[in-house]
Homo-oligomer: A and B are copies of this chain.
């Protein structure tokens, strides 16, 4: 792999590799009515998106090792898990979104029953993928630790728990602590795992892991704050999903708690803190991750 000077260049190179790998792993070639399920899974996985999580995973691993192919199964599993969560979050009984990445959402395209099953099957499949492929490259005990943490980050102590807080958020008294907790779980846990789990597989030291864990938490919050800001400053066309949705659904957002100006200040603060984490990793080339922080903080969609 040629040396990469910024996240944009890194993403251009790695995004198609990650996407091809994901589609390949969920090509089950079923020859009966289950093909509708396979189509629904592929539809949502292929619908695009920034692939920010698997790119973070790959960039983190690349700080330790030149050959990043061993991390592909984990990078793909993280994005497949994220895709399952989007399919379920979009359902009529949840956020009731009809548009995602500029396309009809999975339940609009395939029906609610198939959408639920597509999400379920992607969720389950991530574990099959990790247990099947990671042992080709890493010690079994380390892989088990990664699977345990991966499941933890997506369960009640992570993504699913955050989704419950988010759903109930429109009905509670707005508070900073509730807002932070919601986003730390709903978005932060998996983004943070996208840094931490590759670092564990790469053989990071305990002190490096501590720093990278903190770094993951910062970019998790940063990502969500920017998301909340874009909901009020961008058009649906630009976002590829329904804008102004948070306000419409009275979601508990950074905008609702802090207002636009203070939200922008928070963004600058989290960028600075994420950079500071990287500064402390003096033995590593952090140029791609540093540029990625700027990209997350600056994105317009």
A residues with CB within 8 A of B: 28, 30, 32-34, 36-38, 41, 88, 91, 93-94, 111-114, 116-117, 119-121, 123-125, 127-128, 131-132, 135, 139-141, 143-145, 147-148, 150-152, 154-157, 160-161, 163-165, 167-168, 172, 178, 181
Contacts and interface: CB of A to CB of B under 8 A. Distances in A.
Contacts of A34: 156, 161, 164-165
A144 B148 contact: no
Nearest to A134: B144
Going nearest first, the 9 A-B pairs with the smallest beta carbon separation are: A140-B140, A128-B151, A93-B112, A131-B148, A131-B147, A127-B151, A121-B160, A140-B141, A33-B168
A32 B114 contact: no
B37 A161 contact: yes
A183 to B, nearest CB: 14
Given A140-B143, A147-B147, 18 more contacts: A28-B156, A33-B164, A34-B161, A34-B164, A34-B165, A37-B160, A38-B156, A88-B116, A88-B117, A93-B112, A93-B113, A113-B167, A117-B163, A120-B123, A121-B155, A128-B148, A128-B152, A135-B141
A156 B37 contact: yes
Contacts of A112: 93
Contact of A33 (B152, B154, B172): B172
A132 B148 contact: yes
B151 A32 contact: no
A285 to B, nearest CB: 32
B116 A181 contact: no
Chain A, interface SS category: helix
Contacts of A119: 120
A127 B113 contact: no
Contacts of A147: 127, 131, 147
A114 B167 CA distance: 9
Contacts of A178: 32
Contacts of A36: 164, 168
Contacts of A121: 155-156, 160-161
Nearest to A161: B34
17 contacts: A32-B178, A34-B165, A37-B161, A88-B116, A91-B116, A93-B111, A93-B116, A114-B164, A121-B155, A121-B160, A121-B161, A123-B123, A124-B155, A127-B147, A131-B151, A132-B148, A140-B144
Nearest to A95: B113
Contacts of A139: 140
Contacts of A167: 113-114
Nearest to A116: B88
Nearest to A93: B112
A2 to B, nearest CB: 34
